[in-house]
Amino acid sequence: MQALLEQNRIAESLINQTAETFGNKIGLFGKLFGCWHKNLTRPFTIGNASYRSCLHCGARKQFDTQTLETFGSFHYPPAILFKNN
């Protein structure tokens, strides 16, 4: 859980606050053989986008703060690359 929170903190500081927050959509192969996304975090909000993350693989799903419902497809968060100096 701590690693996921740290990943979200780093992503918030590096990602432009647009639709790119959710990253790449999980394809059919990922849905069939990947994580089934049953254990989700509490909702996080970055700018005007809210989402919940899978505790196992980090995939994100949109969250509606008005209806308090999770909706849409799962997306893998954008990759964060670090440069070694």
pLDDT at 64: 94
Give 16-62 pLDDT, tens digit per residue: 444 455 666 777 766 666 677 789 999 998 888 899 998 988 888 99
Q: How much is the pTM?
A: 0.61
Place of tokens 């954008």: 78
pLDDT at 67: 95
For residue 10, list its beta bridge partners: none
10 confidence band (pLDDT: 50, 70, 90): low
Helix, strand and coil content of the chain, in percent to the nearest 5, comes to 25, 30, 45
Token pair for 78: 């954008």
